[in-house]
Every structure is written in C-alpha cells, then in structure tokens.
Structure 1
Amino acid sequence: MRMAGENYEADDDAAPLDMLVALFEARGWPCESGHGEMAGEIPGSWTTYQVKGIWRPEDMVLQVLCLPEIRVPDGKKKQAHELVARVNEQLWLGHFDIWSNGGVVLYRNATMLGDEGLLSLSQAQALVEIAVDECDRFYPAFQFVLWGDKSPAEALDAAMVDAAGEA
C-alpha cells in the first residue's frame, strides 16, 4: 500500500483517508491527518471551506464534512433551521445541518465503502467536489437569511436564480 502523498492512478484504490490526503496534496490544498480523521482547506467561490474526512472502520463508512464558516446567531436560529430544511429538499446527496454546539452550518455526506473499505481517486474527487459545490450553491441563501433579513423562502429563491444564471 502506498503512503499518503504518493501518486495514485485513476484505477487505484486506497485507504479512504490516504486517498483524500493524496487528492488534497495533488491539488495543492493544505491538509493534515491522524487518528481516523483528515482535515484540510479548499477555496470556494464565496469563502475558504474547511473539509474533514472521518473514517469509521467498524462500519466501513467515510463521512465528509464541509464547513462554510457560517455561524447562526441566536436570534436567527428559527429562520436558519427552516432554510436548512428547504435546502435539504434540493439535495440528492448529503445534507446540511446546524450543530447545536456553536450554531455552525455544515454539509455532511456519508459513504459506505464495502468490505475492503477502499476509496478510489474518482470517488474521493467526487465526494469533495460535491461537498464544495453544494456549499457554494447555497452559501448565498444562508447569507440572505442571516445578514440580509430575507425569509428562508425568499433567500432560497434568490440563491437558486443566481446559481442558474451563472455560466
């Protein structure tokens, strides 16, 4: 087995965290790993995202978290939770959540990797790209609710129109 940082080919499989680290290093994104987790940063369209991979070998599940550095103030929790529910209706993979401890908004997706628990380069790339794309897609909606005083429905409508208009 290759160590993190070594080059992987498109048809290679590796331990999930090793593959995520290799992907981050190949793209020049800062990251670190240890104790069943990896963490790194990826520049997005609106902000730099914190991305974490958490490996649960007992379940053969890799969880990818993407944190867009959005904290929900106490006075906006109800609207933010309504927006999360509306946003999640738009998603095919993963979901958004608000951590009760600190009010941090995050995107989360878990993937079962089968008996061998290996991840391919294309899987790693897809998991990370989906997480960042969804955070980029809905970041404006959270900003509209938290700082623009729009209703969750108005914020989502405005964010979806803006996203549809980009080329």
Structure 2
Amino acid sequence: METALNDNIGNEYGSPMDVLAALFDARGWALDTHADEELGGEVQGAWVKYQVRAVLKPEDSVLQLICLPDIRVGKDRLASAYELLGLVNEQVWLGHFDVWSQGGVLVYRHGALLADDGMLSVSQAQALIENAVEECDRFYPAFQFVLWGNKEPAEALEAAMIDAAGEA
C-alpha cells in the first residue's frame, strides 16, 4: 500500500469515521457504511478482498478496527483453528486474530486508543488499515492450510511463513 494520501487530505486530524471515510475515498476502496460510530468497506489484499469494519466507542476514546478475511471455521476444524490462533497471535504485535462464536468467522481485531480529544490522523488511520490487511495477508495461507489442506497448525504456520518470505 502507498504511504501517503493525495495532497488534498494530507496529515489532518478529524473525527475517526470522517478520516476513515476520506481514506477509503482517496484509495478508491468500496465504502458501504458510514455512520457516526461505525464504518465498513472493502480493501483488496494480496489474497482476497477483506471486509474492514471500524467501530467507535467515543466514551472510552477507542476505535476498534475489524478485518474479516472471509474464512469460516467449521466445528470439525475448530480445535485445529484455535491451536493455530495461539501460534499466530504469538507472532502479532498489534491486534489479534479470533474466531467469533456466532458463525465461526475468523476475524482480526485491533483496538486503538485515541487521543483525549478523540481525534484520529490520516496517517494513524492508514497505519491501522495497512497493519490489519498486512497481518491478514501474512497469515491467510496458514488458515487455508489448516482448514482446507488438513495440515497440522505448526506445520501450516511454518509453511505460510516460508511462502510469505518468498514473496517479498
């Protein structure tokens, strides 16, 4: 992903949802929801299009970014998926992966603390989305290997990390 927006947006601060909406617009990403405290859209990753959701909790000055790689975990693969989640989350510095109990959907979540004024900069917004997409891209193959390739979690993670290193 590029590291700078076009000049008419710059490094300004604003309400998190407005800044994120401007970022989506500047990047040409599909934005399907935009409300005072929630935003959603699609961002193309290396493997798939990710659903990206942002939910603002202004009373706590927290912005939660959720990235959905469109992977569902069947009950028969849940134990392996949880084992892989533990291994993957050891590698993640910001945010974490989880499986939602409702529907078995794999998610990446990151809660970002906002400044006391509740504002978000364009560069912060961009970093949040870039990090989410990069982490989903980095571990997408491991989840594929476990869920559809029937590999053991440690073997899947090792194979995915080798593949990722080869693409750089």
Secondary structure of the structure 1 residue equivalent to 2:156: helix
Q: Which amino acid aligns with 1:101?
A: Q
Q: Is the 8 A contact 2:65 2:111 kept in 1?
A: yes
Q: What is the TM-score when the length of structure 2 is the normalising length?
A: 0.93
How far, CA to CA, are the matches of 1:87 and 1:17 in structure 2? 29
Indicate the residue corresponding to 1:118 in structure 2.
Answer: 119
Indicate the residue corresponding to 1:8 in structure 2.
Answer: 9
Indicate the residue corresponding to 1:91 in structure 2.
Answer: 92
How far, CA to CA, are the matches of 2:110 and 2:149 in structure 1? 28
How far, CA to CA, are the matches of 2:36 and 2:29 in structure 1? 20
Superposition deviation, residue 166 in structure 1: 1.3
Q: Structure 1 segments of 4 or more deviating over 3 A?
A: none
Secondary structure of the structure 2 residue equivalent to 1:117: coil
Q: How does 1:58-73 map to 2 (within 5 A)?
A: 58-73=59-74
Identity across aligned pairs (percent)? 59
Q: Matched residue pairs, number?
A: 160
Indicate the residue corresponding to 2:35 in structure 1.
Answer: 34
Superposition deviation, residue 114 in structure 1: 1.8
How far, CA to CA, are the matches of 2:36 and 2:17 in structure 1? 10
Q: Which amino acid aligns with 2:129?
A: V
Superposition deviation, residue 92 in structure 1: 0.6
Q: Which amino acid aligns with 1:71?
A: R
1:111-141 superposed Cα distances (whole Å, 9 cap, x missing partner): 1112101100100000000000000000000
Superposition deviation, residue 107 in structure 1: 0.3
Indicate the residue corresponding to 2:83 in structure 1.
Answer: 82
